[in-house]
Amino acid sequence: MVNKQLIEDTFRLLQTEMSPIAGIQLHLSPAECEQLLPVLERHDLEYNRKVHLLGIYTILTMAAGRHMDCVPHHPGLTRNILDGDYLYSFYLQFAVKCRELDLVAYLAPSIKKMQIRRANGDFTDQNPVAGIEEFLLQEQRQQNRTSKAI
């Protein structure tokens, strides 16, 4: 029940933050959203931060999906490219607003490598769950070191 509320709150927040002019409808299957939920549960995070991280994950997943649909001569090619590009810039704006700059910096190399691979025709599916979990583990280790030093 908590997970359903978390997903609903995340989508509501993203809808209010996303430009209506972009004309992008947010939709991820519950299975896609649920991939990140166990990661969020394993870490002692405030509810708002869980919403923010699920929002970042949702945006990244949707952006990658739009770019995965970029097939030459597809009638929606231009729209998919523009939607994917908008979603990547929205991801940055949303992350800045949520004060998740460290996460952006942490994910940037893997996102850039994925974009380069896609530009070279490698459309292997990338899932940001692992990167977000690695970031949270690193953050937790750093907090533990800081608390031990104090």
- pLDDT of res. 55: 94
- pLDDT of res. 150: 59
The pLDDT-based confidence of 72 (bands split at 50, 70, 90) is low
* Phi, psi (rounded to 5 degrees) for 83: -60, -45
- pLDDT of res. 128: 86
Tell me the mean pLDDT in the region 31-49. Answer: 90
Q: Is the model's pLDDT at 79 over the cut of 80? A: no
Q: Is the model's pLDDT at 80 over the cut of 80? A: no
- Determine the 3-state secondary structure of 64 from DSSP: helix
pTM of the model: 0.85
Of residues 137 and 63, more confidence is placed in 137
- pLDDT of res. 149: 60
The pLDDT-based confidence of 14 (bands split at 50, 70, 90) is very high
Give the DSSP letter string of 40-93.
HHHS---HHHHHHHHHHHHHHHHHHHHHHT--TT-TTHHHHHHHHHHHHHHHHH
The pLDDT-based confidence of 19 (bands split at 50, 70, 90) is confident
Give the C-alpha separation, 84 to 68, whole Å. Answer: 9
